[in-house]
Amino acid sequence: MFVDKNLMVSDGQALTDTAVSDYSINMGSARKIGAGKQMYMVILIDVLAADLTSINFQVVTDTLATLATPTVQIETGAIGYASLTAGRAPIIIPIGSAIGTEEQYLGMQYTCSDAGTCTVTAFLAFEYQSN
């Protein structure tokens, strides 16, 4: 799989508590991103420690690139520890076309149930259609 570095929001990001993604995507300079194709946030679990109960993965937008005051657009709900093993199938969140129309930056927020340690990679992907 090829991943565009500019669409990466977390790259092996270590989580020890609730946090926002290390990076955000500037939707203001990329309004025609995806050219009408379905967008997805793809989350990979790199490493998971046993002391974490669950994580809620949230796609967020903000007016600030740092995602300091994020607005939750869509979320998975709490996913339990037993389902969050390293190397599992990616968690894929479909993103609607109207998301982030009022806020410029797109990213992720990870709401951890307790103080465990988890490492994740997340990026924006698009539906692929061959011609």
In a domain, residue 131? The reply is: no
Which position has the higher pLDDT, 82 or 107? Answer: 107
CA dihedral sign, ordered 72, 75, 78, 83: negative
pLDDT band at 84 (very low <50, low <70, confident <90, very high): confident
Tell me whether residue 63 is in a domain: yes
Distance of CA 92 to the CA centre of its chain: 9
Assess contact for 116 and 52: CB atoms under 8 A.
yes
What does the pLDDT read at residue 130? 60
Task: Name beta bridge partners: 106.
Answer: 25, 61
What's the CATH code of the domain at 30? 2.60.120.1110
* pLDDT, tens digit, 9 for 90 and up, residues 42-66: 999 998 766 778 899 999 999 999 9
Count of domains observed in the chain:
1
Whether the CB-CB separation of 21 and 10 falls below 8 Å is answered with yes
Instruction: Tell me the H-state helices in the chain.
Output: none
2-19, pLDDT tens digit by residue?
567 789 999 999 988 889
In which domain, by residue range, is 42 found?
5-126
In a domain, 85, yes or no: yes
